[in-house]
Amino acid sequence: DATVVDVTATADGAEPATDGAFTVSLTNPADTDTVVTYTVAGTATPDGDYTALTGTVTIPAGETTATIPVAVLDDTLVEGDETVSVTLTSTTNGTLGTVDATVTIADDDAATLSIDDVSLVEGDAGTTDFVFTVSMSNPSTTDVTVDYTTTDGTATVADGDYVAGSGTVTILAGETTATVTVPVNGDTTVESDETFFVDLSNAVGATLLDAQGEGTIVNDDATVVDVTATADGAEPATDGAFTVS
């Protein structure tokens, strides 16, 4: 009897440690070993997402099936579900029937975003850049974006303490940080330390963990009190004076 060689995906894989599998089968057993060759494709990376496949599988004489295991390798990369596809190319017994099959490897990784706090001296003139770092817990295979906007605290845009800003931050694929820069205006006014905020929203490709960064403008101005003798006195009626300034 003629025999046909088929391949099917019999188990999908999943991180961290659930392996997938292909089954190569014969419609009828052969009296000699059946060696089947195949090519491998898909979006998953050999020896990154799974142990690389050999390209051949042997069905022992008298048997009708053999398994191609897909050993999943765990990682922390946010990459989404990926695929491993095999295509049968030749067989030493019988003819090829169904030659294509695909196993899916489910990703279990996710990323969170946080923004840090910044505290700097304001300076007496010009601007000082407050650079906030947006950090991601795990790298991703795609760009991650998040919107930001500044909001007043005790420091206000109306008082000229800092320059308002808003926009979108992009953390590039494979990276874990990006920055937001807010210019702070220097002055010589004696005042308390003041604060403003950078708020994150609308994250795409990650979730927000710490969505608010606090900027503390440290006052570096002080006033000096001096006293001077500005007039001597004399009898009978010339008064003296001190001036406090």
Residue-averaged pLDDT of the chain: 93
Mean pLDDT of 94-123: 95
End-to-end Cα, the chain, rounded Å: 114
Is the pLDDT assigned to residue 230 strictly greater than 90? Answer: no
CA dist 209 to 148, 168, 203, 234, Å? 14, 17, 11, 75
pLDDT digit string, tens, across residues 40-96 = 999 999 999 999 999 999 999 999 999 999 999 999 999 999 999 999 999 999 999
Identify the sign of the CA torsion 152, 157, 162, 168.
positive
Identify the sign of the CA torsion 201, 205, 209, 212.
negative
Contact 44, 50 (CB under 8 A): yes
Full DSSP string of 110-135: --EEEE--EEEE--SSSEEEEEEEEE
Task: Give the three-state DSSP class for 67.
Answer: strand
Higher pLDDT, 225 or 83: 83
Q: What pLDDT sits at residue 235?
A: 82
β pairing state of 127-136 and 82-91: unpaired
pLDDT digit string, tens, across residues 118-176 = 999 988 788 999 999 999 999 999 999 999 999 999 999 999 999 999 999 999 999 99
Q: What pLDDT sits at residue 57?
A: 98
Q: Is 17 exposed, middle or buried (0-12, 13-18, 19+ CB in 10 A)?
A: exposed
Q: Which helix (H) or strand (E) holds 102?
A: strand 100-106
Is the pLDDT assigned to residue 204 strictly greater than 80? Answer: yes
Q: Which residues are CB-neighbours of 245 under 8 A, at least 6 positions away?
A: 225, 226, 227, 228
Where does residue 108 fall: left (phi above 0), alpha (psi -120 to 50 degrees), or beta otherwise?
Answer: alpha
- Among 131, 182, 133, CA closest to 161: 182
Q: What pLDDT sits at residue 219?
A: 84
pTM above 0.85, yes or no: no
Is the pLDDT assigned to residue 188 strictly greater than 80? Answer: no
Confidence of residue 221 (pLDDT cuts 50, 70, 90): low
60: cis peptide before it, omega within 30°? no
